[in-house]
A = this chain, B = another copy of it.
Amino acid sequence: MQKLIFTNEVARELSGLIAAANPHGVYVLADSNTVMLVWPYLAADCPALSDARLITVPAGDINKNLDSLSHIWSELQKLGANRHSMLINVGGGMITDIGGFAASTFKRGMRFINVPTTLLGAVDASVGGKTGINFGGLKNEIGAFREAEAVVISTAMFSSLPDSEMYSGYAEMIKHGLLDGEEALTALLAYNPCVHDFNCMLELLESSVGVKRRVVAEDPTEKGLRKSLNLGHTAGHAFESLAMEKGAPVPHGYAVAWGIVVELVLSHMHKGFSTALLRKIAGYVRDHYGVPSITCDDYPRLLELMHHDKKNLDDRINFTMLEAPGVVAIDSIAGEEDIKVALDIFRDLMSM
């Protein structure tokens, strides 16, 4: 079982982990951002990294590809890594995905530790063991399931992130709060992630990652419960794709935040989710994420995109709905007319 460590003393924790693992050589993977913004501080504070060899790839999901993977393999080989070495991945989800896959396959597998430097990476990509690269125009087409030896999560890493990055990751935390229960949700809605209160955020994050960890542990092969993690994503992916098509892309987490509101409206209609709570969440989303630029003319395309996302055969679409925070109904069906009504109410709630 991988170690999940929540700390604001990354260097100290890393030193302990490296000493305990006693690897034949330590290698660090960073991208063109984290190599400047994070690595110098980490290297200065962590004596265990003083002999580490650095490997870098260009930042951005577009570089999570075979060229970068091949480069990482080549560098590991040239720098003398072996199957008893250790790779430390310092970056967002792009770096932990590609670095985890490179380590899983170099010499048929060396150990790796993830140090996520984005909120989204910490909350989403650090549990579940999904590693990989994009290939042939498809996301995460090639990869492996392999957990890191340890994930070291520090909220101090996020202090230099732009607000939009913080909100984007926070949308996934709100989703986890909704799956967890009212108490967790209330704590999240009372906080603004851009305040950068390291300790408060660390506590919220630990509880949030715990939700995902429990769900994945109960359903590792994505047969049932794990579908609950899809909350907000059926409508969210449609918003994300539509924005892309219109040439005005939005961050993933923003689309998810809007998708959550739409799917809570459906939950209200089909499962009696509370109006008061729906209004409260919609208010938080409107205040921090703004509103998507859609009109009712966009509905047909949004419905098409939702259909495509789920590969459904008739006019009904599969959602994860909630009766209440913590009370999940996976595989809940809504027809197209219901979804159009939900989109109307969504636009109303967001005061469009």
Contact = CB atoms under 8 A, between A and B. Distances in A.
Interface of A (DSSP majority class): mixed
A108 B130 contact: yes
- Most B CB contacts (10 A, CB to CB) among A140, A144, A145 go to A144
Contact of A142 (B105, B132, B141): B105
A73 interface: yes
B104 A135 contact: no
Instruction: Count identical subunits in the complex.
Output: 2
A240 to B, nearest CB: 21
Given A66-B70, A70-B66, A140 B77 contact: no
A84 to B, nearest CB: 12
A109 interface: yes
A1 interface: no
B77 A144 contact: no
A145 B77 contact: no
Contacts of A77: 135-136, 138, 141
Interface residues of A, number: 24
A73 B136 contact: yes
B73 A142 contact: yes
Interface of A: 66, 70, 73-74, 77-78, 101, 104-109, 130, 132, 135-136, 138, 140-145
Given A66-B66, A77-B135, A78-B136, 20 more contacts: A66-B70, A73-B135, A73-B136, A73-B141, A74-B136, A77-B136, A77-B141, A101-B105, A104-B144, A105-B132, A105-B143, A105-B144, A106-B141, A106-B142, A107-B143, A108-B130, A108-B142, A108-B145, A109-B144, A144-B144
